Structure 1
Amino acid sequence: MNIESILESIPPLAVYLAVGLIIGIESLGIPLPGEIALVSAALLASRHTLDISPVWVGAAATIGAIIGDTIGYTIGRRFGMPLFERLGKRFPKHFGPGHVALAEQLFSRWGVWAVFFGRFIALLRILAGPLAGALRMRYPYFLAANAAGAVCWAGGTTAVVYYLGLAAEKWLSRFSWVALVIAIIAGIGLTLLLKERTRNLIAQLEAEHDWETLRHAK
């Protein structure tokens, strides 16, 4: 059985449910590759041999994001900031003091816009819901920013990837595979650069947090 046959055997409903579930769990505050799931599903939808609708992919991602963020908001509002302290001890790579401090800084500066744009940023995509609840952001404002961000992120990402997938065959017929490899490497390089910048900001904030802890301990 070749790859094409395997892909054709996947029920479209399973793809929609998987996308919604993965993105919903990620939005709830559990680190999962939501963006990868969405991009992969949108690419599958661009294949004319598969019966996967890009509209339903975007809808599943949007619904999962809104529901997941809402549950995360409820949990954050119920348990408050101590929740992040406990999570930071158990999962320092995702909920360390630097991660939370950076997210708080963005929330303090941008307010509800941090929820909207957080959908496009990996760090805030995980923390936005629980942190908004813990910081007592008014729910109507949170819901409006959450829903708007989810629609723009899910719909925009799905549309861009879908149409890029449709154009890929024509594009590859005109350019060599070398050009494709260069484009992929450039995209990966930009992603790594953004991650490195975020990592440096987190490290700086964690160092400041450690210094403050030490100063208060004296």
Structure 2
Amino acid sequence: MTELHYAEWGVGLLLAAVFAVALLESLAVVGLLVPGVGLLMALTLAATDASVPVALWVVSGAVGAFVGDGISFWLGSKAGPAMHEWRIFRRHPDWINDGEHFFRRWGAWSIVIGRFIGPIRPVIPMVAGVLRMSPRTFWWANLLSAPAWACVYLGGMYWLGEAFVEHFGELDLTSALGLLVIASMVAVLVSVLARK
């Protein structure tokens, strides 16, 4: 009974973690600073090792991404053009300029396509709010793209994690933490190179 209780607690903790990381990775500005890819890879590997049901994993990530984009859209709607004066965008005007260019080119599709492109993912929903995209259009695009992203991204990682665990066996805590550190470092390096 105690082992089952701890197993359920561990699954709940992992589901909360994937929700939080997916939310933060989608959140305006914050998503540019969080090594989301590395964290999601490490968490997904832990989830496969802990036998978290893949459907729960994908749904938790999708809800986190949906909420993160929703908050970003709301922030953009409230800030309006004054967002250009935020200190971070005065230091990095290309972030917001690239987001605006992408949004003007793709319109509602920018919410869907942008979710799959790391460097602009956390900017597009905020830009959509600033440029007064119809809330109804945004929420529909968000509702369709969040589950699609979670199925492709988290479902794909989950499948790779299952293959990894099957090939290399179960992970101990030290190995899991080591993989988390390595995956996070790789994600930071890729993010830095992509920005340059």
| TM-score scaled by length of structure 2 | 0.74
Change (3 A) 1:144 1:156: same
Aligned residues: 172
User: Could you tell me whether the CA contact under 8 Å between 1:38 and 1:57 is conserved in 2?
Assistant: no
Match of 1:46 in 2: 48
How is 1:1-218 mapped onto 2 (pairs within 5 angstroms)?
Answer: 11-29=10-28, 30-31=30-31, 32-47=34-49, 50-88=50-88, 92=91, 96-168=92-164, 192=190, 196=193, 198-200=194-196
The separation in 2 between residues aligned to 1:168 and 1:84, in whole angstroms, is 44
User: Could you tell me whether the CA contact under 8 Å between 2:76 and 2:128 is conserved in 1?
Assistant: yes
The separation in 2 between residues aligned to 1:89 and 1:113, in whole angstroms, is 24
The separation in 1 between residues aligned to 2:39 and 2:195, in whole angstroms, is 23
Change (3 A) 1:167 1:21: closer
The separation in 1 between residues aligned to 2:166 and 2:18, in whole angstroms, is 28
Q: Deviations over 1:81-112 (max 9, x none)?
A: 2123214257x3xxx11111111111111111
Name the SS for the 1:120 alignment partner: coil
- For the pair shown, the structure with the greater C-alpha radius of gyration is 1
The separation in 1 between residues aligned to 2:165 and 2:10, in whole angstroms, is 24
User: Could you tell me whether the CA contact under 8 Å between 2:61 and 2:154 is conserved in 1?
Assistant: no
Change (3 A) 1:169 1:42: closer
The separation in 2 between residues aligned to 1:51 and 1:169, in whole angstroms, is 10
Name the SS for the 2:86 alignment partner: helix
The root-mean-square deviation of aligned C-alpha atoms, in Å, is 2.9
User: Could you tell me whether the CA contact under 8 Å between 1:19 and 1:41 is conserved in 2?
Assistant: yes
User: Could you tell me whether the CA contact under 8 Å between 1:119 and 1:153 is conserved in 2?
Assistant: yes
Change (3 A) 1:46 1:40: same
Change (3 A) 1:9 1:66: closer
The separation in 1 between residues aligned to 2:57 and 2:37, in whole angstroms, is 12
| TM-score scaled by length of structure 1 | 0.68
Name the SS for the 2:52 alignment partner: coil
Change (3 A) 1:46 1:142: same
CA drift at 1:199: 3.0
Change (3 A) 1:162 1:130: same
Match of 2:4 in 1: none
Q: Deviations over 1:117-139 (max 9, x none)?
A: 11111222211221110010111
Q: Percent identity?
A: 28
User: Could you tell me whether the CA contact under 8 Å between 1:38 and 1:61 is conserved in 2?
Assistant: no
The answer to which of 147-156 and 8-17 deviates more is 8-17
Q: Deviations over 1:16-46 (max 9, x none)?
A: 1121122213323113233333322322232
Greater RCO (CA < 8 Å, at least 6 residues apart): 2
Name the SS for the 1:149 alignment partner: helix
